[in-house]
Structure formats: C-alpha cells, structure tokens
Amino acid sequence: MGSSASKKRILILGGGFGGVATARHLDRLFRRRPDIEIVLVSRDNFLLMTPLLFEVFSGALDLRSCTFPIRAFLRTTRFVEATVQCIDLDRHVVRLAAAGESKELAYDQLVLALGSKTNRERTPGSEHAFTFKTLADALLLRNHVIERFERADVETDPQRKAQLLTFVVIGGGLVGVELTPIGSALLGFGFLALGSIGRDLEHPFDNSVHDVAMTSICRTIEINLKQYLGEADLPPPIEPVRGVLW
C-alpha cells in the first residue's frame, strides 16, 4: 500500500506509551493538514498499562483494567493491527504480517517505538526463565505459579516440594523489586530474589522510604545483591526448579 502522491505518510511503529503519545502529539500538530496522513501500526490493538501488570499476575485486577483500546486515544491517526516483520530503509516500506497475510506499507517519515526486549544473550541458560513484559507474560506466570501450587500440594517428598515452591527473581530493577514481594504475598512464602549485578537494588524513592521498604521485603525474602549470575550458576538451580524470572 503506497502513500499517495498528494499525501505525506508518517508511519509510527509500536503502540506502547511511546507510539501512542507520538500519535496523539502528531494528531494535534497536523489536525489542519489534510496533506499529511498518520498511521500507527502495532501487534495488539490495546495499550498496556505496564505498571498494573503486577496486579494481573497477583489476580487483584482483571485484564480489562490494565488495557485500553488504542483507537480511543486517536483522532485522525489510522490504526493498523499487524506485526512488523522488516523495514526496507532504501525503498521506504515496512513489511507487515496480519492474519497469515503479508503486505507492504510505504512511508515518508518513520517513527520507531517498538519497545525493548529482554536481554538473554549475556547468560546462557536464561532462555529457560520467564520474562515479565507483556500481558501474556503475566498470565503465563500466574498460571505457572498456580500449577506449581497444585503439584506441590500432592508432592510427598519434602525436598521436591520445596523445589516446587521456590521461585527466583533475577534482576533488582523496578520490576524485580515490585514483583518479588507481590509474588511472595501471593504464595504466602518465599520468592527467592537473586539480583542486581554489581549494584544495589534500583529505586526512585527517597532513601528513608527505600529503607522501610527494604526492611519489610527482607523479612520474608532472601535477597542476594551484587551477585553476578554466570553460566556456571544456572543449570543446577534452574533446571530442577523451573521457577525463574528474568
């Protein structure tokens, strides 16, 4: 699908916070410019409120409470639900896939807002771990934890039972710090937090707030800071435990 000669097309890839905010801004900027067309392409037709993902995992919120239809944020911008397969910078076209079909969309100006992906390159074995970025991740993890509960309930070997109920969170950034106590509360006992390569837990708070939070977290959870997880660390704990979050 080419952009017409009379209209310049601005194509935004990614319907997260960055892509939707850009589309809204351009909507306002070019609302009196019929010669400009704005198109937003994203894999899902909803905007995910990532800060609420923890509550989806814990079950405190249902799905509708943390997702909002992207089209409701847009005025003149056209939304296309599709997966971006590749970008041809020379020809100014993007290849899209949707419902088993593939097609090209031309652009004059391109905005990339496709987000980031979890880095699994650094530590072999980390591909066995769960990630926590998308709605699907939160639901998968929730179902996995519940399933592990069920397995543990009928397990008679105490060591195996303990393994089934041990979870390791790798990474002491904001997601790791928030996920660990929520997981712990959900389980009623220990998530085991391993984390933060070479530094303290990250936090945006005043130090006094941080100290209170840390004291409360440390009551129920084991925290190992400044510990780098190398290749040698991964196979024994991950393979039998299979409850690792990256």
Interface residues toward ligand FAD, by CB under 6 A: 14-19, 42-44, 50-51, 53, 83-84, 113-115, 132-133, 175
Q: Which residue bears the tokens 């652009």?
A: 107
If the CB atoms of residues 4 and 65 are measured against ligand FAD, the closer one turns out to be 65
Instruction: At 237, list the tokens.
Output: 């704990």
Nearest approach in angstroms of CB 114 to ligand FAD is 4
Q: Pairing mode, if any, of strands 93-98 and 101-106?
A: antiparallel
Q: Pairing mode, if any, of strands 93-98 and 83-88?
A: antiparallel
Structure letter (DSSP) for residue 201: P
| Rounded Cα gap, residues 125 and 120, in angstroms | 8
Task: Reply yes or no on whether 178 is catalytic.
Answer: yes
Nearest to 56 by CA among 133, 148, 153, 170: 133
The CA–CA distances, whole Å, from 82 to 97, 99, 100, 113, 144 equal 6, 8, 10, 14, 28
Q: Which of 55, 81, 178, 202 is catalytic?
A: 178
Nearest approach in angstroms of CB 33 to ligand FAD is 24
If the CB atoms of residues 42 and 184 are measured against ligand FAD, the closer one turns out to be 42
Nearest approach in angstroms of CB 205 to ligand FAD is 12
| Rounded Cα gap, residues 104 and 191, in angstroms | 46
Which residue, judged by CB position, is nearest to ligand FAD in the bound state?
Answer: 16
If the CB atoms of residues 113 and 164 are measured against ligand FAD, the closer one turns out to be 113
If the CB atoms of residues 13 and 194 are measured against ligand FAD, the closer one turns out to be 13
If residue 17 lies in a helix (H) or strand (E), which one and from where to where? helix 17-29
Nearest approach in angstroms of CB 39 to ligand FAD is 13
Check: CB of residue 113 under 8 Å from CB of residue 22. Answer: yes
If the CB atoms of residues 133 and 142 are measured against ligand FAD, the closer one turns out to be 133
Nearest approach in angstroms of CB 204 to ligand FAD is 9
Active site residues: 178
